[in-house]
Amino acid sequence: MTESELGKGSLLGGFKLEERIHAGGMATIWRVVRQWDTMPMAMKIPRLKDGDDSSFIVCFEVEQMIMPRLSGRHVPKFIASGDFSMQPFLVMEHLPGKSLDVLMREAPLSPQEIAVIGAKVARALHDIHRQHVIHLDLTPDNILFRKSGEAVLIDFGLSRHEQLPDLMAEEFSLPMGTAPYISPEQVLGIRSDFRSDIFSLGVILYRLTTGEFPFDDPKSMAGLKRRLYLAPVPPRVLNKKCPNWLQEIILKCLEVDSDKRYDSGAQLALALENPCQVILTSRSELDKSDSLWTEFKRWIRYSRSGPSQLRSVARHLDTAPIIMAAVDISPGAEALSDAIRHVVKRIYHGERNARITCVTVRKTRLVGIDLGLDEAGKNLYVQYLTALKQWAQPMELPADRVSFHVLESPDAAMALINYAKSNHAEHIVIGARGSSMLRRFLGSVSSHVVAEAPCSVTVVRLHDTGDSGVTSDGYSGHG
């Protein structure tokens, strides 16, 4: 049965077609059901007509290869596929709702809305990057949201899986993608740098902020190459309500040289969620386009060499982790917190692309009202934040590589675990106080974190002799 012969009620691969929910130039999408399955499902069926662009077929082959290898909340669940010997199809979880493109029509949005949306998409990108996939066609049309709030990425036909053959690169020489969102390295035929997705997200953030494309919508190769040397008009020129921190983030995402962008989606999400801790550079103050001389120098540079590229997604992310320092700043913990600082500094010097996130927990009441003020009427949150910054000061970390967070919770261990999960921490450094009958009975914060952390954990202990010695134990997470 061919695609043109299919209709409502048709059976294909054990699935019954119930409703056509989309008819595009490359494929049609049907809502389908299967007798024993209650999951909402959608079937994508490619259009295969004589004379059609062969890239349609290759895109579908790529998506069939990649989808079964992806998992998690940030992608639709793969269910089944059919090969090209008869009628090809791809069945996946059906996600009701509209794409980000619908919201894009309301741009410009408020900075707070933009930060929330951007952080969700950045976390979704980090998730697929950890699974060795670069999307390479991140557009508002390809971003959906679950009812629970997570961003979901769809349409992996132009993607690259670094452990699979790159069919698009093998068969086509021209850059493939949606012109306004294509990164400079994609223009030059480089499909191996995951920071291309960071660039595309930067374009989305720019549009949400200004309502405009940063590089227009070029229709030719010459037009695409202009982004190699032309900087976009600063967002604050087009939208006076754009704060400095948001312009800083957007223009960093849109850097021509991918080495100057964020090192991971997780680090970008952390910046969007903590605007008060974004380090402002000259980018944040730009109020006009670059001079012709600056553009000419950039053109000379990239016409000769082009942007740098990465050979391995996962390998780079391993060198750009988020290291979480869980610090107890309460009285009596000074020696242990000093030991934690020593371990964190040692780890940082071995991982120069790492981001250090310093976290402490202010325990609140489980029942009743917690006013958040001390006896003198001073804000406890501010006091904790100040103490945390003072704790980190001796490490002399670069300002753009460290951030500070005070969590407020009646359960310190769960607060730390949830923070590590939501921020994609790769490593937690936490201290363990001396043992006691009460601690053995109730269990310690550090043992709880070790048991449920989504990443590796280093537990720092003081020797019985006091401050003179420190031990640290490494544990693999269960995430």
The tens digit of pLDDT for each residue in 79-96 reads: 999 987 778 999 999 998
**How much is the mean pLDDT over the chain?**
87
The 10 Å Cβ neighbour count of residue 457 is 24
Q: Would you put residue 443 in left (φ > 0), alpha (ψ -120 to 50) or beta?
A: left
The per-residue pLDDT for range 212-244, each reduced to its tens digit, is 999 999 999 999 999 988 889 999 999 999 999
Q: Taking 70 as the threshold, does the pLDDT of residue 315 lie above it? A: no
Q: Which of 67-76, 292-301, 351-360, 366-375 has the highest mean pLDDT?
A: 67-76
The per-residue pLDDT for range 355-409, each reduced to its tens digit, is 899 999 988 876 556 667 777 778 888 888 899 999 999 999 888 888 899 998 8
The residue behind tokens 């010695």 is 469
Q: Taking 80 as the threshold, does the pLDDT of residue 465 lie above it? A: no
In CATH, what is the architecture of 321-475? 3-Layer(aba) Sandwich (3.40)
The whole-number pLDDT of residue 2 equals 60
Structure token pair of residue 287 = 């109020």
The whole-number pLDDT of residue 440 equals 47
| Domain at 3-93: CATH code | 3.30.200.20
The whole-number pLDDT of residue 472 equals 63
Residues 268, 275 contacting (CB under 8 angstroms): no
Ranges of H-type helices in 211-290 = 221-225, 235-238, 244-253, 265-273
Structure token pair of residue 226 = 């202009």
The 10 Å Cβ neighbour count of residue 346 is 11
| Band of residue 175 on the pLDDT scale cut at 50, 70, 90 | confident
Structure token pair of residue 441 = 């009975």
Average confidence (pLDDT) over 193-213:
97
* Residue 385, SS3 per DSSP: helix
Q: How far apart are CA 130 and CA 314, in angstroms?
A: 6
Q: How far apart are CA 133 and CA 154, in angstroms?
A: 12
| Band of residue 438 on the pLDDT scale cut at 50, 70, 90 | very low
Q: What is the pTM of this model?
A: 0.84
Average confidence (pLDDT) over 35-41:
90
Higher pLDDT, 98 or 262: 262
Q: Taking 90 as the threshold, does the pLDDT of residue 442 lie above it? A: no
The 10 Å Cβ neighbour count of residue 259 is 12
Residues of the chain with CATH 1.10.510.10: 100-310
Residues 318, 455 contacting (CB under 8 angstroms): no
Q: Taking 50 as the threshold, does the pLDDT of residue 479 lie above it? A: no
Higher pLDDT, 272 or 306: 272
Q: How far apart are CA 388 and CA 419, in angstroms?
A: 16
The 10 Å Cβ neighbour count of residue 140 is 21
The whole-number pLDDT of residue 350 equals 83
Q: Which of 52-61, 205-214, 303-312, 405-414 has the highest mean pLDDT?
A: 205-214
Burial of 292 (0-12, 13-18, 19+ CB in 10 A): exposed
Q: Taking 60 as the threshold, does the pLDDT of residue 146 lie above it? A: yes
* Residue 91, SS3 per DSSP: strand
Amino acid identity for residue 407 in this structure:
L
Percentage above 70 pLDDT, the chain: 86
Q: How far apart are CA 475 and CA 455, in angstroms?
A: 9
Average confidence (pLDDT) over 296-323:
67
Residues of the chain with CATH 3.40.50.620: 321-475
Average confidence (pLDDT) over 419-437:
82
Contacts of 81 (CB under 8 A, 6+ apart): 64, 67, 68, 88, 89, 90, 91
Higher pLDDT, 429 or 27: 429
Residues of the chain with CATH 3.30.200.20: 3-93
The whole-number pLDDT of residue 173 equals 76
Which class in CATH covers the domain with range 100-310? mainly alpha
Higher pLDDT, 158 or 55: 158
The whole-number pLDDT of residue 466 equals 47
Average confidence (pLDDT) over 406-423:
91
